[in-house]
Structure formats: C-alpha cells, structure tokens
Structure 1
Amino acid sequence: MMLPMDDAQTKTVAWSDKRWQAMLALDFAARSGRTTLVGKRHQGPLVVQKMFYPEGDDVCHGIIIHPPGGVAGGDHLQLHATLASASSALLTTPGAGKWYKANQLHASQEIRFQLAANSCLEWLPQENILFDGSAVHFSNEIDLAETAVFCGWDIVCFGRQARGEQWQQGELRQSMQVRREGRLIWNERLFAQPDSVVMRSGVGLKGMPVNGSLVVAAGVVPTEVLEACREIKAKGDAYYGVSALPEIFSARYIGRSSEAAREYFEGLWQVLRPWYAARPAVRPRIWNT
C-alpha cells in the first residue's frame, strides 16, 4: 500500500544516503469509453511505461518499472493508484522483484489503491525474490467503492532458488487490507523469520520456499466459477486451493516454484475474469518476453 508522505518525506524522496526513496502515483479515468492515464506523479526511481491497449479501449495496461533492478536495505517504494468511476486498469511488472541483503536496514514496499464506483483494477506483478539476509515489509491497502472490483496476487520466493540459495537470515512482514465503503472485508498479516514456526509448520508454509496468494473482491462467487477453479491443478510438488467468502475469493499456493505459482494463478485468472470483469483474460505482452 502507499501511504501519503509527510512534508519531510517529500523533500528527501530521491537518492539520499545511498538509499532509494521512491514514489509513483497514477490516476486513471474513463474518457469517451477509453480508460486513460490522466495523472502521473513520481519521485525517485519508480516509473511507468506508456500505456498499452492489447484488448481495446476498455482496459488500460501499465508496466511498473523500478530501474535500479533491485531493492536494498533502507530503500522504500510507494505505489499509489486511483481509478475514477467506470475505468479499468491492469498493472504488472516486467520481471521479478529482487530484495537484497538488508545490511541491518529494512526495505519496504507500500501499495495503496483507491477504486471508485464500477471501476476495476488488476494488480498482477511478477514474483518477489528475497535474497538471504533480506529484511522486507510488504503492505497493501485497497479501498473500494460499493461496486468496484479488485483482483490481485503476490508471490514470494524465499532465497534464490536457481542458485540453490536458502533464506537463512532475515525477516518478512506482509499485510493486506481490503475495505469496501470503509468497511474491512479482508485482513491478512504474516510475520516470518527463517527459524519461525510458521515457516515449517503444517498449517504454515510447510518448509516450502515459495508462497503465493490471490485475492478477488467482487462479491459472491458463482458456484460454477468456484467449481471450475477447484478443477485447476498446480504443477509439481505443491499445496494449493481456493476458498470463497461472501465478499472475497482467495487462492493459495505453497510450493517450490515461482513459475508454477504464476501458472496456477494465471489459470485461475482465466476462469475468474469473465465473471468479475465480463471479459476474457488477455495476457499482458510483457509476460511473453
């Protein structure tokens, strides 16, 4: 989530003491049937590419880029997006987020999305990789109008699996809150360290290095949609499943592969999107590169 910066922060949001303090704020609105980026403000190394329309004017696709390529201890990223009535946007990232060794300093990513009536926002980033020794705080705050729709996922990989690295030192704090008309409808928190019980418990992460969550806030899930989601299988050695609350659809992945987690969530997205957005799923072009 992104919280408003105070005056002191806004004066020091660039390169300072070798720590990146970056903020990107985006405003979307529907103009003559086309969702358009009508406002953009950024400070520090967090930017968005030009908007893309691979599925026509209805949905605006944006790619959020952090040019340094990795986040070090002490770095702080903020992403804020507002959607006006009847607008639709899909935001993603060009590659995995890399979170480096903390060097006794925490790094953080704060996301805040505000959606007006009949708007729809999809936040579908690629995975975050926590290097051994990283200390990271991810927080997400979603504020929805009564008829707004949100779909988002996050995937966290503990250690660089391609190098056989294990996450042996560090800390992860995660939080996600979804509110509709100010009323809290989803509240999720995780605090983990390499030696935490939650990392190895059968009711936690089961000793697996990859953890993923998908959330859709769009009202009651039709029975046929929920059943179709339950038929989707994740590849490899993994634990996964879906559940539906009165106002939230939730899916989980716990396994050994961030790629398998993405494929599983994308399979669910293919089923879910015709329900919550009344349109088929169209993959962002950046996912093909």
Structure 2
Amino acid sequence: MKNPRWRARKRKVAKRLFPLFAPLIFSPMAAPISSSAAKTKTKKTTKASVSNYKIMQFDQVAYSLYNEMGLRQAGLKYEIFTKALTGYYNMKHQGKLSGKPVLTMVDFTKSSTKKRLWVVDIEKKELLHHTYVAHGRNSGEEFAENFSNENKSFMSSIGFYVTQNTYQGKHGLSLKLEGVDEGFNTNAMERCIVIHGAEYASPKFIDQAGRLGRSLGCPALPMEEHEEIINTVVGETAMYVHAKNDDYTSNYLDHATAMAEVVNGNPNNALPPNTDVSI
C-alpha cells in the first residue's frame, strides 16, 4: 500500500504542471506549414531585412552629411534633411536632375520670422545659403498652416520640385519651378509658382509687422539675396518644401532606391568612412 504522503506530493506536482500542459491538451493541433508557405515567408523576411538594412545605411550617409555641413547649428531638423536627401537621390536616379549637386530645403513648420530656407552642396558638403522665405497669403499669418495645389488658391504648395530656367519678371530675376509630387504641387508651372525676390521678405518687414510678408504662393526671398540664390540653384536641381501635413505622400521617399543611387552614383564623396555597402 502506497504512502499517503507520497500520494499528496504527487497531487501537488500534478497541480503545478497542469497549467503548463493544458494548452497542449485542450487546444487544436496547429496545421503544419507547407514548404511553399515557408519559402514565401522566408522571402518576405529576407526582403524586409534587406530593406531595413538599406534604410540604416542611408541613415548613416545622411547623418554624416548633416553633421559635416553643420545643419543642426543652422536650425535645420535632421528629419527634414533626411527626407530631402532621400528625394534628391530618388530624383537623381530617375534622371530628373542635372549634374549640379545642389539641394534646397524649406521648413514651413517654422515661424516666418525665422530663417527657414537652406541650400547645400551635397558633394562639397557645404551650406551655401540660409535665409528667410515667404509663404502664400492664404496659407497663414506668421505660420504656414494651409496648402494647396489649386490655381488662384494663393497658398503655398509642399513637396519636391525641380528648378527650371530663369526669366525677368515684375520682381526682377525669377526662377520657374516644376512640382513633381502628384496632387500636392504639380500645378506649380500653371500657377506661376516661382522663386523671386520681394521687399516684404526681409527682417525690416518682420520688425514692422511681427511676421514676414506673404506672397501669392511663391517662395519669395529677400531682395538682397535672391539673385545669388537663384543663380546657385537654377538648372534642374532639387528642392523640398516641408510642412506638417499628415496626408503628404511622395514616390521620392524610397530609401532603397536612394541608397542604390548613393552607391552607384558617387560613393567616394557621399559615403561616410567605414560604411558597409554590401548586402
């Protein structure tokens, strides 16, 4: 006859183990994964891993350039720079840009009383210009908050642009812009959205009105700087206008394509030291 203490101990052990094995006892047996499904899952996982790796690589390139050009000290947020740089390389990959390694960025999340336009040389890793820029009169007062691609909206348009040729207009030397983000700025040429100089885009106007003056939608620059900036960026160079807009999407924000262009285009100038570009 078995010892009662031994039986009691056996019941205790069973109670402890029951919660661990209950799911296996009562749940239905999982169906085996087919070899084709397993291969598909492996391919997806591999593709995602490669994509994430390229994003990490591109982030290395972008952060290195950002630091070398002193853009944090110049007030440009890194998240804006990396978006602009991604678009730059995507547009370059598609043959939309000339050989000039120039990138213009505008941050419309900043007050118009702040300098919110930057022009950089990607190859020389230099900040070329940093100044004020006006937004459209129907986009907002001190801050640009509303944007449109529609004619006669008198609002600014956001997204990626390619600079075109210059002409002499009522504001003097002016530069045409081609919007390349469908639904956001592709009517820029029709709307005559151009870079030009304006008396109201100046610190003096800010002192008088408490904000920068506003345009009919054009990114207007200070009169004493606009000609030099236009001559720097003219001729199929990239421009990115950033704003707080949850609806904004762009085909030019593909990191994998951008990284491929970095590697194939000009790796010696673009890549930071010790960057692994193998996949």
Q: TM-score range by the shorter chain?
A: under 0.3
Q: Which has the higher contact order (CA 8 A, sep 6+)?
A: 2
Bigger strand fraction? 1
- Normalised by the length of structure 2, the TM-score is 0.26
Bigger helix fraction? 2
- Normalised by the length of structure 1, the TM-score is 0.26
